[in-house]
Structure 1
Amino acid sequence: MAGLLGTSLCGALLGLLCMSAPALAVEVKVPAEPLSAPVGRTAELTCTYSTSVGDNFALEWSFVPPGKPISASHPILYFTSGHLYPTGSKANRASLLQNPPTGGVATLKLTDVHPSDTGTYLCQVNNPPDFYSNGLGLINLTVLVPPSSPLCSQSGQTSVGSSAALRCSSSEGAPRPVYHWVRLGSSPTPSPGSMVQDDVSGQLILTNLSLTSSGTYRCVATNQMGSASCELTLSVMDPSKGRVAGAVIGVLLGVLFLSVAAFCLLRFQRERRKRPKETYGGSELREDAIAPGMSEQTSVRADSSNGLLERPHSASSVTTTKSKLPMVV
């Protein structure tokens, strides 16, 4: 009996000693749920810890981009030996809610958050010789960005009976926007079976197009920060009407060509009739006519008064139709 009482007493004393001894493990607490902050605002990343701060106490905040491992983290700030050292690309926007952070609060303040601030933040407390835990807390932050103006595009044939795809996409938006297509105006809406849309990809499929499918379609991109939209006009053509229209245009062009040709021909004939004819009467003399009884070879004599040249007459070059008269002495 005395042995049992001694053993119980020793166990109770050891328990009291263990309860009275200070805890050596650093305990870090961060929010379990992801955090979010609108772009341009200030984000507070809550981090608390419990330990007896000593001379070797150190606090570090670091950042991991989305999709990267923790080993790829980038430092944001350090606190050690009683001094705060901001560092990295976020240094001018990062600070501590309490400085120095020796009262158990290590909350980080990040002002004017950018879309590139989305990622995982690490709050790590080191307080040697408290090495019985990693003293690490992880916080996921999402920067909320309204959708940018989407771009509307169209692909596929736009003739009667064919299919067409309308697409809509925003280059920015967090969380990722959802898309919804609506048809504007008072025209009848296509049947549900011929109009299928995907809210995630922003694609609208129109099948079995008809002339009533023509119209203006609007795509609206929406997330919790706002919405933006774009519009696209769809024109469905009837191939048979296109062929008839082409034939009519060809006939009209042919008639026009023939009309122009006939007009030009009539005008040419009219101008020809108005042009005077060159005729010569019996009494008219031509300047180049040869006097009767003269041969074509006439003399040319030089005339100093008018600058004309004439040939002197010679017996051999002048002939007459009359006989020579005898000379009277």
Structure 2
Amino acid sequence: MAGLLGSFLCGALLGLVCVSAPGRAVEVKVPAEPLSTPVGQTVELTCSYSTSVGDNFALEWSFVQPGKPVSASQPILYFTSGHLYPTGSKAKRASLLQNPPTGGVATLKLTDVHPSDTGTYLCHVNNPPDFYTNGLGLINFTVLVPPSSPLCSQSGQTSVGGAAALRCSSSQGAPRPVYNWVHLGSSPTPSPGSMVQDEVSGQLILTNLSLTSSGTYRCVATNQLGSASCELTLSVTDSSKGRVAGALIGVLMGVLVLSIAAFCLSKFQKERRKRPKATYGGSDLWEDAMAPRISEQTSVKAKSRNGLLERTPSASTVTTTKSKFPTVV
């Protein structure tokens, strides 16, 4: 009796231990090193797992953009209840290397990769009651892009003794391009001390400019997929020559103005000498006098001949009126 009771207690205890024991761990394995593929190619993101696949098995691939948290991930595809459901913007280019992914392999295949495919990919396996681990693997992936044609620009004081900054930048390129400036042509290259360039930012600083600093400069942007370049022409001017030329032009303009003024004055004096002088003969008076019993009418006509005024008297008419009174002798 005691032995039977002992056997029962041992069996009950064993059953309790079996019920309370946790399920198997879900182990997900992904590459530890970042992956990269040239733009337009196909990439396979390897993901394997170990668990006892049951009816509750589920697999999900998702994507998160660089610099964003994992919680902001967007789904690519998921497998559950024996069916595969692609979703999101990558649905037409995403598939599983093995479908259904129930054999321990959940590798994602992505075709015609775009620059926007660069980011972190999450392989998540969920298989209750196997909850011992989170069943999550992360893969960092980069799409390699050759540098786009860079844009060259300049700023600063491009005169002798001044300083100028040349800049070069590509809008696309992965990994990020490095930049190198070269001075083209047969003119002497500026001294190393007057040229300082930053290969990361693409900036070239030229100090203590001289006339030999003039010329064409080329910037080459390079990464492991290729290179691209742009050029600009730098013209260094001598400001001292400009000041001398300006002063000379000012003097010439002053001489020209004085010459024109002297010419106009001389012409005015010549014209003035050619004008006739006005002379007057006699007294230009118009008289109209009437004596007692005598009326006189005089007309004066002035004519100008050779600058002289002439007076032509008209005929005078004298009328005498006899007295109506008798004359006393």
Normalised-by-shorter TM-score class: 0.7 to 0.9
Identity of aligned residues (%): 81
- For the 8 Å contact 2:298–2:316, the answer to whether it is kept is no
- Name the aligned partner's letter for residue 121 of structure 1: Y
Matched, 1:320 2:316: yes
Q: Equivalent residue for 1:5?
A: none
- For the 8 Å contact 2:37–2:43, the answer to whether it is kept is yes
- For the 8 Å contact 2:27–2:49, the answer to whether it is kept is yes
Aligned 1:153-168 pairs, distance under 5 A = 153-168=153-168
Q: TM-score, normalised by structure 1?
A: 0.73
Q: Equivalent residue for 1:150?
A: 150
Instruction: Show CA shifts across 1:275-302 (max 9, x none).
Output: 997999x9xxxxxx99xx64469xxxxx
Superposition misfits of 4+ residues, deviation over 6 angstroms: 266-270, 275-280
Query: Post-superposition shift, 1:191?
Result: 1.0
Structure 1 unmatched runs, 5+: 1-22, 283-288, 298-317
Query: Post-superposition shift, 1:267?
Result: 6.4
Query: Post-superposition shift, 1:192?
Result: 1.0
Instruction: Show CA shifts across 1:242-282 (max 9, x none).
Output: 21111011122223334444555666678x59x997999x9
Q: Equivalent residue for 2:45?
A: 45
Structure with greater proportional strand content: 2
Q: Equivalent residue for 1:174?
A: 174
- Name the aligned partner's letter for residue 121 of structure 2: Y
1:61–1:255 distance in 2 versus 1, CA, 3 Å? same
- RMSD between superposed Cα atoms in Å: 3.2
* Rounded Cα–Cα distance in structure 1 between residues aligned with 2:94 and 2:267: 91
Q: Equivalent residue for 2:6?
A: none
Query: Post-superposition shift, 1:141?
Result: 0.6
Query: Post-superposition shift, 1:321?
Result: 4.4
- Name the aligned partner's letter for residue 194 of structure 2: S
Q: Equivalent residue for 2:235?
A: 235
Aligned 1:90-101 pairs, distance under 5 A = 90-101=90-101
1:295–1:195 distance in 2 versus 1, CA, 3 Å? same
- Name the aligned partner's letter for residue 225 of structure 1: L
Query: Post-superposition shift, 1:77?
Result: 1.0
- Name the aligned partner's letter for residue 147 of structure 1: P
1:259–1:42 distance in 2 versus 1, CA, 3 Å? farther
* Rounded Cα–Cα distance in structure 2 between residues aligned with 1:249 and 1:319: 75
* Rounded Cα–Cα distance in structure 1 between residues aligned with 2:93 and 2:276: 103
- Name the aligned partner's letter for residue 204 of structure 1: L
Equivalences, count: 277
Q: Equivalent residue for 1:116?
A: 116
* Rounded Cα–Cα distance in structure 1 between residues aligned with 2:181 and 2:60: 48
Q: Equivalent residue for 1:183?
A: 183
Secondary structure of the 2:49 match is strand
Range with bigger deviation, 183-192 or 210-219: 210-219
- For the 8 Å contact 2:217–2:233, the answer to whether it is kept is yes
Query: Post-superposition shift, 1:199?
Result: 0.5
- Name the aligned partner's letter for residue 182 of structure 1: V
- Name the aligned partner's letter for residue 61 of structure 2: W
- Name the aligned partner's letter for residue 54 of structure 1: G
Query: Post-superposition shift, 1:93?
Result: 2.4
Q: Equivalent residue for 2:20?
A: none
Q: Equivalent residue for 2:307?
A: none
Q: Equivalent residue for 2:204?
A: 204
Q: Equivalent residue for 2:257?
A: 257
Aligned 1:1-329 pairs, distance under 5 A = 24-262=24-262, 272=271, 294-295=297-298, 320-322=316-318, 324=320
* Rounded Cα–Cα distance in structure 2 between residues aligned with 1:43 and 1:257: 81
* Rounded Cα–Cα distance in structure 2 between residues aligned with 1:294 and 1:113: 125
1:269–1:89 distance in 2 versus 1, CA, 3 Å? farther
* Rounded Cα–Cα distance in structure 2 between residues aligned with 1:210 and 1:110: 56
Instruction: Show CA shifts across 1:224-243 (max 9, x none).
Output: 12222222222222222121
1:248–1:102 distance in 2 versus 1, CA, 3 Å? same
Q: Equivalent residue for 1:309?
A: none
* Rounded Cα–Cα distance in structure 2 between residues aligned with 1:259 and 1:81: 105
Q: Equivalent residue for 2:10?
A: none
- Name the aligned partner's letter for residue 165 of structure 1: A
- Name the aligned partner's letter for residue 177 of structure 1: P
Structure 2 unmatched runs, 5+: 1-22, 288-295, 301-313, 323-329
